[in-house]
């Protein structure tokens, strides 16, 4: 296995704090029983306790395992071991892994094999399924009718009055939507209540949210008149999830995919990871969503700028479509391909506006922008036209990567603001988060 580059290790990190902590450990002192085979890397790292942490890394996945209590994947110990190994540190190449690394790798391979060999589930009873759908539709209809009345009262009272409400006002409406089996809309309402008190542009934000909610309520009432894509968008906006079995095998596409960038968020209840893939042959951009709750870890993020061969199954809905990975992506480490061309800031916003006009419930639009400078508060083109950046992001990773120079930047357009996820520097992509 070719040693990873320093940049590839940094791109695997979940955040800048993990990198900083890992660098302090990326020296021989804390480490013992280190080694590497063609596919595995392992070692023991002495922490503050008596027993060293056991770190195992599957270099093919990549996949990580550490006995420390951290919820981050990879944790600082795994990153430190990768930094030590990639820098040519004292990590011996051996033919057989240590006991703990070998056991973990064998168990992981066993789980994959068991999942592949598991018998297919029996087909559900179509009549029972139809009854469940009918019951859910009735529950959602009642919940959205009640929400429509609440929303009319909010607009009638004005956004200033709504802003003065305490958390129970928003949480109560969200709870009733959860009872009405509209969890995504409930989360949006709860988030809007929080945003109304912390955002400087609270009025604009709340009006935008109210308009979206009213569109959802109205669209549900005439859902039978909508196109198949718009019905799927509405279902997603409400939180009526598709079963994986419905998606897998229904609309698949195999391609060489460039990992354009990813973003992680955590609202205290649920962690979400979005990963954007660009098909190098099809030219299609798809997003893969992963979720984790209850203290469970998210899957390891794909490396920004990596090229993989994979089959993705597309969910119903308007572009940009959500997809799921049908199988594990196969890295193409020798792929020497030019970065896909972007567009100017104005053309990008025009394209995003046209997409939003045709699919008003789509929340995020991917933008690949050429010749822009990413600053602290906005992204600016050569003519000085600017697009504000999303609030609350850390501006320093992208500023450190670009030095304020014009670059090609990939990100998400959301709520009329831009979230940079990756920039292209000479011959490589660098993550912005």
CATH number of the domain encompassing residue 298? 2.40.50
Mean pLDDT for 241-260 is 90
Whether 125 is covered by a domain: the verdict is no
Whether 121 is covered by a domain: the verdict is no
Comparing 198 with 333, the larger pLDDT belongs to 198
| Whether residue 309 is found in the same domain as residue 248 | yes
SS3 for 99-143 is: HHHHHHHHHHHHHHHHHHHCCCCCCCCHHHHHHHHHHHHHHHHHH
pLDDT above 60 (res 117):
yes
Of 204, 238, 272, the last residue of a domain is 238
Of 116, 138, 154, the last residue of a domain is 116
pLDDT for 268 equals 73
pLDDT above 60 (res 53):
yes
pLDDT for 183 equals 94
| Whether residue 218 is found in the same domain as residue 255 | no
Whether 340 is covered by a domain: the verdict is no
Whether 108 is covered by a domain: the verdict is yes
Of 238, 268, 300, the last residue of a domain is 238
pLDDT above 70 (res 6):
yes
Number of domains in the chain: 4
pLDDT above 60 (res 1):
no
Whether 407 is covered by a domain: the verdict is yes
| Whether residue 276 is found in the same domain as residue 313 | yes
In which domain, by residue range, is 211 found? 130-238
| Whether residue 229 is found in the same domain as residue 139 | yes
| Whether residue 94 is found in the same domain as residue 16 | yes
Whether 199 is covered by a domain: the verdict is yes
| Whether residue 95 is found in the same domain as residue 137 | no
The model's pTM: 0.72
Please state which of the ranges 113-122, 133-142, 243-252 shows the lowest mean pLDDT.
Answer: 113-122
| Whether residue 285 is found in the same domain as residue 315 | yes
């Amino acid at each position: 296995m070719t040693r990873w580059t320093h940049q590839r290790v940094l791109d695997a990190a979940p955040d800048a704090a993990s990198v900083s902590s890992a660098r302090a450990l990326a020296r021989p002192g804390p480490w013992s029983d280190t080694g590497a085979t063609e596919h595995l890397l392992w070692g023991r790292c002495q922490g503050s306790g008596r027993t060293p942490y056991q770190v195992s890394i599957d270099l093919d996945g990549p996949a990580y395992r550490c006995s420390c209590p951290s919820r981050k994947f990879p944790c600082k110990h795994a990153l430190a071991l990768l930094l030590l190994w990639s820098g040519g540190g004292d990590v011996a190449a051996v033919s057989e892994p240590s006991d703990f690394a070998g056991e973990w790798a064998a168990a992981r391979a066993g789980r994959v094999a068991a999942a592949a060999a598991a018998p297919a589930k029996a087909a559900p009873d179509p009549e029972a399924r139809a009854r469940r759908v009918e019951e859910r539709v009735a529950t959602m209809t009642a919940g959205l009718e009640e929400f429509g009345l609440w929303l009319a009262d909010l607009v009638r009272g004005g956004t200033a009055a709504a802003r003065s409400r305490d958390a129970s006002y928003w949480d109560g409406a969200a709870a009733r939507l959860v009872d009405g089996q509209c969890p995504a809309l409930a989360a949006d309402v709860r988030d809007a209540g929080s945003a109304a008190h912390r955002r400087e542009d609270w009025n604009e934000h709340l009006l935008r949210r109210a308009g979206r909610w009213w569109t959802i309520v109205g669209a549900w009432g005439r859902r039978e008149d909508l196109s198949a894509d718009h019905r799927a968008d509405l279902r997603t906006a409400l939180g009526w999830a598709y079963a994986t079995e419905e998606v897998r095998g229904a609309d698949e596409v195999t391609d060489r995919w460039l990992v354009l960038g990813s973003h992680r968020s955590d609202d205290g209840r649920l962690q979400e990871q979005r990963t954007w893939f660009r098909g190098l042959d099809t030219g299609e951009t798809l997003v893969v969503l992963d979720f984790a709750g209850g203290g469970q870890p998210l899957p390891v993020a794909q490396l920004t700028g990596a090229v993989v061969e994979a089959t993705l199954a597309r969910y119903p809905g308007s572009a940009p479509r959500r997809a799921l990975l049908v199988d594990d992506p196969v890295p193409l480490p020798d792929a020497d391909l030019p970065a896909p061309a972007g567009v100017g800031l104005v053309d990008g916003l025009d394209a995003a506006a046209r997409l939003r006009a045709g699919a008003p419930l789509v929340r995020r639009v991917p933008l690949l922008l050429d010749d822009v400078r990413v600053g602290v508060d906005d992204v600016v083109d050569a003519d000085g036209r600017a697009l504000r950046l999303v609030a609350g992001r850390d501006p320093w990773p992208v500023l450190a990567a670009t030095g304020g120079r014009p670059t090609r930047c990939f990100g998400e357009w959301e709520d009329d603001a831009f979230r940079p996820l990756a920039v292209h520097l000479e011959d490589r992509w660098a993550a912005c988060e």
